[in-house]
A and B are shown apart, each in its own frame.
Chain A
Amino acid sequence: MSEVSSRPGAAASPGPLQHHFADLKQQKAAASLGMWVFIAQEVLFFGGLFATYTVYRMTYPEAFSAGSQHLSWKIGFFNTLVLIASSLTMAMGVHSAALGRAKRIVAWLLATIFLGSLFLGVKYFEYEEKIAPCFGLGAGPGCLVPGERFDASVLHVAVDMAPQTQIFYSLYFAMTGLHALHMIIGIPIILWIAHAAWRGRYSAEWHTPVEIVGLYWHFVDIIWIFLFPLLYLIGTH
Chain B
Amino acid sequence: MNQGTEAKAMTPEANTLPKEHYLNAGYGWKSWLLTTDHKRIAILYLVSISVMFVLGGLYAALIRWNLLVPDGSHMSAETYNRVFTAHGVIMIFFFLIPSIPVTLGNFLIPLMIGARDLAFPRINLLSWYVYVIGAAFTLYSLFSGGLDTGWTFYTPYSTVFAQSNVAFAAIGIFIAGFSSILTGLNFIVTIHTMRAPGMTWFRLPLFVWAHYATAIIQILGTPVVAITILLVALERLFHFGFFDPARGGDPILFQHLFWFYSHPAVYIMILPSMGVISELITCFSRKRIFGYSFIAMSSMAIAVIGFLIWAHHMFVSGMSVYSAMIFSALTYLVAIPSAVKVFNWTATMFRGSISWETPMMYVFGFIGLFLIGGLTGLFLGNLGTDVHLTDTYFVVAHFHYIMVGGAIMGYLGGIHFWWPKIFGRTYSEWWGRISAVLIFVGFNMTFLPQFLLGYLGMPRRYHAYPEEFQVLNVLSTAGALILGIGYLFPSLYLVYSMVKGEPAGNNPWGARGLEWETTSPPPAHNFERTPVVEDEAYAYDKAPREAFGV
- A residues near B (Cβ < 8 Å) are 1, 3, 19-22, 26, 29-30, 33-34, 37-38, 40-42, 44-49, 51-52, 55-56, 59-60, 63, 145-148, 163-164, 166-167, 170-171, 173-174
**CB-contact partner of A44 in B120, B121, B224, under 8 A:** B224
**Would you call B185 and A45 a contact (CB within 8 A)?**
no
Number of interface residues of B (CB under 8 A): 42
Residues of A within 8 A of B241 (CB): 146, 163, 166-167, 170
Residues in chain A near residue B221, CB distance under 8 A: 44
B267 to chain A, nearest CB (A): 16
CB < 8 Å: which of A40, A48, A63 contacts B224? A48
Contact A1 B123 (CB under 8 A): yes
Query: What CA separation (Å) do A174 and B116 show in the bound complex?
Result: 42
Our pick among A42, A55, A166 for the contact of B253 (Cβ within 8 Å) is A55
A33, A38, A55, A170: the one contacting B250 at CB < 8 Å is A55
19 further A-B contacts with Cβ under 8 Å, apart from A22-B530, A48-B231, are: A1-B123, A19-B525, A20-B118, A20-B194, A29-B193, A33-B192, A34-B185, A37-B188, A41-B219, A41-B222, A41-B223, A52-B253, A56-B250, A146-B241, A147-B239, A163-B241, A167-B242, A167-B249, A174-B234
B496 CB to closest chain A CB (Å) equals 34
- A30 and B247 in contact (CB under 8 A), knowing A44-B224, A146-B241, A147-B239? no
Contact A163 B239 (CB under 8 A): no
B170-190 interface mask toward A, CB cutoff 8 Å, 1 = contact, 0 = none?
000000000001000100111
Interface residue? B257 (CB, 8 A):
yes
CB closest residue in chain B, given A171: B242
Chain B residues with CB under 8 Å of A19's CB are 116-117, 525
Q: Which of B96-129 contact A (CB under 8 A)?
A: 115-123
The smallest C-beta distance from B448 to any residue of chain A, in angstroms, reads 38
A33 proximity list for chain B (CB < 8 A): 188-189, 192-193
Chain A residues within an 8 Å CB radius of B192: 29-30, 33
B238 at the binding interface (Cβ < 8 Å): yes
Kindly list chain B residues whose C-beta atoms are within 8 Å of the C-beta of A46.
Answer: 227
Q: Which residues of A contact B190 (CB under 8 A)?
A: 30
Beta-carbon contact of A163 and B242 below 8 Å: no
CB atoms of B223 and A48 under 8 A apart: yes
Report whether over half of chain B's contact residues are helix, strand or loop; otherwise say mixed.
Answer: helix
Residues 144 to 167 of chain B near chain A (Cβ within 8 Å)? none
B318 at the interface (CB under 8 A from A): no
B residues apposed to A, CB below 8 Å: 115-123, 181, 185, 188-190, 192-194, 219-224, 226-228, 231, 234, 238-242, 246-250, 253, 257, 525, 530
Chain B nearest CB, measured from A164 CB (Å): 5
B223 near A51: Cβ-Cβ < 8 Å = no
- B120: contacting residue among A30, A45, A56, A163, CB under 8 A: A30
Q: For B120, what are the chain A residues with a Cβ–Cβ distance below 8 Å?
A: 1, 30, 34
Q: What 10 A-B pairs have minimum CB-CB distances, sorted nearest first?
A: A45-B223, A48-B227, A20-B117, A163-B248, A20-B116, A170-B240, A147-B239, A30-B119, A44-B223, A30-B193
Indicate whether A48 sits within 8 Å of B220 (C-beta atoms), given known contacts A33-B188, A38-B185. no
Residue of B117, B219, B248 touching A166 (CB-CB under 8 A)? B248
The answer on a CB contact under 8 Å between B193 and A164 is: no
Of the residues A20, A146, A174, contact of B239 by C-beta under 8 Å: A146
Q: Which residue of B lies closest to A51 (CB)?
A: B257
A30 touches B219 (CB 8 A): no
| Contact between chains at B240 and A20 (CB < 8 Å) | no
Partner of A148, one of B121, B224, B231, B239: B239
A31: shortest Cβ distance to chain B, in Å? 8
Chain A proximity of B296: nearest CB distance (Å): 20
Which of A20, A45, A55, A163 gathers the greatest number of chain B CB atoms within 10 Å? A20
Within the complex, what minimum Cβ distance (angstroms) separates B253 from chain A? 6
Neighbouring B residues of A146 by C-beta, 8 Å: 238-241, 247
**A88 shortest CB reach to chain B, Å:** 28
Cross-chain contact A26 with B185 (CB below 8 angstroms): no
In the complex, which residues of chain B have a beta carbon less than 8 angstroms from the beta carbon of A59?
A: 250
Residues of A within 8 A of B238 (CB): 145-147
Query: Please, which residues of chain A bring their CB within 8 A of the CB of B227?
Result: 45-49
Smallest CB gap from B249: residue in A: A167
